[in-house]
Amino acid sequence: MTRFLPLAEELAKEQPELFAMLLDDVYVEHVQHAPAGPEPEGGPSENGAA
């Protein structure tokens, strides 16, 4: 991680829009691959699902 600190600091200072765009890309990628939340107690049948 520390190898990217100088680059991150420079981007944050000189090109904040690019830095924000890169962070957003990482966030979206992370959310898309996040594990599903825990299944509700009792399983799907309690929620009206078949």
Buried b (16+ CB within 10 A) or exposed e, 4-23: eeeeeeebeeeeeeebeeee
Summarize pLDDT for 13-26 with one digit per residue, the tens.
999 999 999 999 99
pLDDT of residue 41: 73
Alpha helices by DSSP H, 1-50: 5-14, 16-32
pLDDT of residue 33: 79
Contact 31, 37 (CB under 8 A): no
Summarize pLDDT for 1-50 with one digit per residue, the tens.
799 899 889 989 999 999 999 999 999 998 887 777 776 676 665 555 55
Looking at beta carbons, which pairs linking 13-17 to residues 24 or more positions away fall under 8 Å?
none
Side chain identity at residue 5, one-letter code: L
